Structure 1
Amino acid sequence: MSEGNKNILRKERKSIRIMINMYCGKFHNKEDELCEECSDLLAYAQKRLDFCPWGEDKIR
């Protein structure tokens, strides 16, 4: 597994976190923390990436 492949999942995790933070900040929680629902969604999305069948070998 190359460093470039590791970066793909790292970038995807970061993108998911940013999108959920933006959504939660606009619609649920005006503070810097995620609400419980969005926190659960982030945990779910991260777990899905952990078990992605292509994992680090995913091609962009």
Structure 2
Amino acid sequence: MNKETDFHLSGQLGREFKTITAMIDLYCEKHHQINTVKFQRCADCEQFRNYVKQRLDRCPYGENKPSCKQCPIHCYKPQQKVHSQTIMRYSGPKMIIKHPIMAIKHLIHDKRAIPERNKEILSNYQKRKTLLNNK
């Protein structure tokens, strides 16, 4: 990890990051890890995973974040959004078998109402920055 991705996502953000990481791993294992004995995420998938982590870290909804599919704010660049959709279309149906609890929690979270956005809600990045400035 590097300075830009060496941080902790808490609450709902952490759970969402674990879910998308599991989806990326399923996709990478099938599409990029052909004929390998031990799984290791490829460079492209690791780069995408770091991108996702940064986007979650800077989500303006903070820990009250709605699922990305329901969110009115689109954080991903167009190319990354297409990549995310490709990964989720492939991995989504397989998640119920490989990671059933994670998949069910994701489906339940997807049905929740979108919280109101106000200035009191801080992104994970803003909270971390505030803590560092106060020390």
Q: Match for residue 54 of structure 2? A: 47
Instruction: Give the structure-1-normalised TM-score.
Output: 0.79
How many residue pairs get matched? 55
Distance 1:56 1:26 in 2: 32
Alignment of 1:11-50 (within 5 A): 11-29=15-33, 30=36, 31-50=38-57
User: Where does the alignment leave 5 or more consecutive residues of structure 1 unmatched?
Assistant: 1-5
Structure holding more helix per residue: 1
Distance 2:54 2:61 in 1: 14
- Name the % identity: 40
User: Where does the alignment leave 5 or more consecutive residues of structure 2 unmatched?
Assistant: 1-9, 67-111, 113-135
Q: CA RMSD in A?
A: 1.5
Q: Rg bigger for which structure?
A: 2
Moved over 6 A (4+): none
Instruction: Give the structure-2-normalised TM-score.
Output: 0.38
Q: Which structure is higher in RCO with an 8 Å CA cutoff and minimum separation 6? A: 1
